[in-house]
Amino acid sequence: MARASLESRILHLRICCFVMLILCLIGIVQMFASYGKYDYPHTARVDLSDKLFTGVTPFVTPKKSVPDCTYDKVLENKKSYHPSEVARKHDNFSPKGIMNGSYTPEECNPLFSVAVLVTYRKRQNQLDTFVPYMHDWLRKQHLHYKIYVIEQQDEKPWNKGMLYNIGAKYAIADKFPCLILHDVDLLPLDEGNLYVCMKEPRHMSASIDKFRFVLTYDTLVGGVLAMRSEQYLLVNGFSNRFQGWGGEDDDFAERIHSRKLSIQRFPREMSEYTMLLHHPEPKNSDRARIMYENKQHISEDGLNSVMYESVQVKPQRLFTLIQVKL
């Protein structure tokens, strides 16, 4: 009897091991099969122009001598770069037309004004690659834009949410109707990736080489996000409570949904980015708890409650530097 029971247990164990092995194999096969092919819900390329949010600052005066800029050619452009083709150094970069990080096209009247907010601390090499790359990218797209670099100057834990809030205050005071919140280590690869806001918040970096070009989860808004300034005000910006790496963007996604806004994306083949290498930042192990507590506090914690020791604004040729001590 005992022997029969032992045999049946061994058989049971063998079946379990076999099933697990099969499941693992299926997982591995699926992982390789989906490499670079993963897709997510998005706005179709043909519908994009109707979903864009147009608007320029009052400081851009249209010229009668030139036509309005058009953007269809950018959206239709299917040229895409492999990460290895992306130049890390820009020795021949020309700053023509750029002043204080801002550029206005001469050849036509732009329909979009965009503030690019870049949060930053001690990543000089990445900044040196990012800034000229983005100027070349943005000038080609006939946009009026300005790059703000918001630098955390102290040794306190990194607080990206608060830096974005401070940058947003300056960009909104400069009357930019659209904000692009941009990690300094991400560079766009697809020429069709027009750097503008949609009517709803737009997650731009949906397909990053570091993550095998896979969107890791539907509510991800980290990396590069474009959002109308009035929507940034509506969600009261980012929580100021996240210190260290991670969580502030997931909390921001909650804010977006709580205000009945939805997250939009361009198609996968227009949303590819390469990530510049860097050492990982210390993770915020409290992020899930803070996010849970924050659900009831959107109106008290955010853009309206930013506290810092000092801020200095230093306009430079290629960007406006906002140095902050928190």
Q: Site residues (CB under 6 A) for ligand BGC?
A: 216, 222, 246-247, 249-250, 287
Least gap, CB of 160 to ligand BGC (angstroms): 9
How many CB atoms are closer than 10 A to CB 285?
Answer: 10
Angle between helices 160-173 and 248-258 (to 10 degrees): 50
State which residue has the least CB distance to ligand BGC: 222
Token reading at 114: 């965009």
Between 214 and 270, name the residue whose CB sits nearer to ligand BGC.
Answer: 214
SS3 call for 323: strand
Between 105 and 161, name the residue whose CB sits nearer to ligand BGC.
Answer: 161
Between 104 and 264, name the residue whose CB sits nearer to ligand BGC.
Answer: 264
Between 192 and 222, name the residue whose CB sits nearer to ligand BGC.
Answer: 222
Between 19 and 288, name the residue whose CB sits nearer to ligand BGC.
Answer: 288
Least gap, CB of 209 to ligand BGC (angstroms): 14
Between 239 and 320, name the residue whose CB sits nearer to ligand BGC.
Answer: 239
Between 94 and 216, name the residue whose CB sits nearer to ligand BGC.
Answer: 216
Taking CB atoms within 8 Å and a gap of at least 24, the contacts of 132-137 are 132/90, 132/93, 132/318, 133/86, 133/87, 133/90, 133/187, 134/182, 134/187, 135/93, 135/95, 135/98, 135/103, 135/318, 136/90, 136/93, 137/188, 137/195
List of residues 6+ apart from 199 with CB closer than 8 A: 51, 52, 53, 228
Least gap, CB of 220 to ligand BGC (angstroms): 6
Residues 285, 130: contact at Cβ < 8 Å? no
Burial 243-267, CB ≥16 within 10 A → b, else e: bbebbbbbbbbbbbeeeebebbbbb
